[in-house]
Structure 1
Amino acid sequence: MFASYNTNRLVTAVGLATCLLAGNAAAAVSTQCETVRFTDPGWTDISSTNALASTVLEGLGYSPEISILGVPIGFEGMKGNEIDVFLGNWMPAQQKFIDAYSAEGAIDIVGENLIGAKFTLAVPRYAYEAGVKDFSDLAEFGEQFRQRIYGIDAGAPANQLLQKMIDSGDFGLVEWRLVESSEHGVMSQVKRDIRRQNFIVFLGWEPHPMNSNFDMAYLTGGDKYFGADFGGATIQTVTRKGYREECGNVGKLLTNLKFTLQMENQMMAFILDDEQSPAEAAQKYLKANPDVLNSWLAGVTTLEGAEGLSAVQQHLGL
């Protein structure tokens, strides 16, 4: 009886210690994963998806952080364990980054979060109707275009593709110059030139409000550089290596996150046209379209392990 009593006490003590250790381990994991670090190249579409994801994460009890970093620096951040998530890997335009960092074992590809995007050179409708319908038509109208192609942020993979196109002499553009600028800078230039009926060729893409704000047309002939179907693209979610295993609950959310062209166009219009912050735009969109939360939060809990969907709904005041 005495021996059995002591044995039972020992088993109970060991069990209690195990529970305490497990609880401490869970707390450590929660603390480690509580801050979710996103990178944003400064593109409004990625600012939109980052804001949507961050709003949901806040409702789940996490603390998202967003760093504005060029694409190359963002990938280096994931490699160096300073960035957790990138929601904006445009494929195939950014294939070289995926190849390089996958080979180094620095990243994981979670999956596609958007399909049906496009990304290639575009012109105003009046330039298109004047005969600029293909990449091969640009050289003929070089004087009207001032031999300039407007790209996006310095260091962006798409700019590198355009510079390669110019340097190679493809389409007779060897004397042309690539003008690198921010998204806002390019759109301002396009708006000014359209108002003056000037010719301008620029990187266009969808999702983006430019598709409804400007009467524009995408050029054929750029398959070699941007891929078929007007640079038809898919957008991938990428994380630093091992992140989903370390932070499984956030990993589940990232796996569930799927966006649409209509969703992102609307978000971007809130930001660019209505001058709302990304966070304000996300709140507005999710309150108006709460059904998207059902699939996003399937199998996702709060940071503390409670049911996730109701927590986010409460956070949004739904």
Structure 2
Amino acid sequence: MSNKTSLTLIAGGLLVSMSPLAMADVPQSCQTVRFAEVGWTDITATTALTTQVLEGLGYDVTSDTVSVPIAYAGMKNGDFDVFLGNWMPSMASISDPYVDKGQVDRVGANLEGAKYTLAVPQYVYDAGVTSVADLDKHADKFGHHLYGIEAGNDGNMLIQDMIDDDAFGLGDWQLIDSSEAGMLAELKSKVKNQGWMVFLGWEPHPMNTNFDMAYLEGADDYFGPDYGGATVYTNTRAGYVDECANVGQLLENLTFTLDMENQVMGAIMDDGDKPAAAARSWLKAHPGVLDGWLEGVTTVDGGQGLPAVKQSLDIAQ
């Protein structure tokens, strides 16, 4: 019998139509999709977009915000199914050991053209700080501080490596652990008074339009070439794509763009929208993206995926 053929059974004198997928007793582990998030707005945005699609297909979705190391330990231990934020190569030291041991699967790239390295306000750049090699010449103006995000983050670890190596004379500088929101609040405060600050910057992120900022050259040995040029990958717990093939197909189809993420993040950070509302609004305004994402993907009970998701989002068909 074809997977697309339904079977009608007589139960208690009633005709009961069941799809083969429903009859196949879908594993409980596949009926709820469990995401790891790490408190970065770009991953909040992509997780929210994916959640809207999965819920439209009939899946239950959970999302927990944890540190990067906990996200990987959680996938290894089977506590999380999916993580959409494997920034490479900067996250290699954390993610590669799990991938190399077969404890976590790197499914595929979901974003190309990202970047991730140290940055300064544009007025600091214009004053002559254009490279990480220029930082220590102005150490007093920076207060000997390098601002990162949450403790355990790969970017913070790279900054700490620079300090530990005394690279560029930064051995007596201090890494300030904070959070994405905390770092940006500090940046906003500094910019008001033309204060000097060096911080972790990345794209996609609304910081690139909300602040007049510039990325520093010279940190290739730590963050990689092209200003920490990055590709972001989807990761899952080992074997998840095969175990949960329908969700796996969606994850393999899933790609984002810098513009898409900047728009959804802007709605969250600048307009104050809840992530689910921001994702839903973006998808309703750009329904064409669903065609590629849902190719070969069904609802949880075997129905057609694309019309079900469009119906759930109130998109005209």
- 1:257-268 equivalent positions in 2, closer than 5 A: 257-268=254-265
Match of 2:175 among 174, 178, 181: 178
Letter in 2 for 1:279: A
1:42 paired with 2:39, answer yes
Match of 1:299 among 296, 300, 303: 296
Match of 1:3 in 2: none
Shift of residue 103 of structure 1? 2.9
Decide whether the 8 Å contact of 2:116 with 2:202 is kept in 1: yes
Percent identity over the alignment is 53
- 1:268-283 equivalent positions in 2, closer than 5 A: 268-283=265-280
Q: Distance in 2 between matches of 1:24 and 1:262?
A: 38
Higher helix fraction: Structure 1 or Structure 2?
Answer: 1
Note closer, same or farther for the CA distance 1:141–1:59 as it changes in structure 2 (3 Å cut): same
> What stretches of structure 1 of length at least 5 have no aligned partner?
1-19
TM-score relative to the length of structure 2 = 0.92
Equivalent residue pairs, number: 297
Match of 1:65 among 62, 65, 79: 62
The superposition leaves residues 261-284 of structure 1 with CA deviations (integer Å, 9 ceiling, x where unpaired) of 000000100000001111010011
Q: Distance in 2 between matches of 1:195 and 1:23?
A: 58
Match of 1:188 among 180, 185, 209: 185
Match of 1:141 in 2: 138
Decide whether the 8 Å contact of 2:114 with 2:202 is kept in 1: yes
TM-score relative to the length of structure 1 = 0.92
> What stretches of structure 2 of length at least 5 have no aligned partner?
1-17
Kindly report structure 1 stretches of 4+ aligned residues shifted beyond 3 Å.
22-25
Match of 2:283 in 1: 286
Match of 1:11 in 2: none
The superposition leaves residues 10-64 of structure 1 with CA deviations (integer Å, 9 ceiling, x where unpaired) of xxxxxxxxxx9x87861243x3311000000010000000000000000000011
SS in 1 for 2:295: coil
- 1:221-232 equivalent positions in 2, closer than 5 A: 221-232=218-229
Match of 2:230 in 1: 233
Q: Distance in 1 between matches of 2:26 and 2:89?
A: 38
1:103 paired with 2:100, answer yes
Decide whether the 8 Å contact of 2:254 with 2:293 is kept in 1: yes
Match of 1:212 in 2: 209
Match of 1:312 in 2: 309
Decide whether the 8 Å contact of 2:43 with 2:85 is kept in 1: yes
Which protein is bigger by CA-based radius of gyration?
1
Decide whether the 8 Å contact of 2:267 with 2:273 is kept in 1: yes
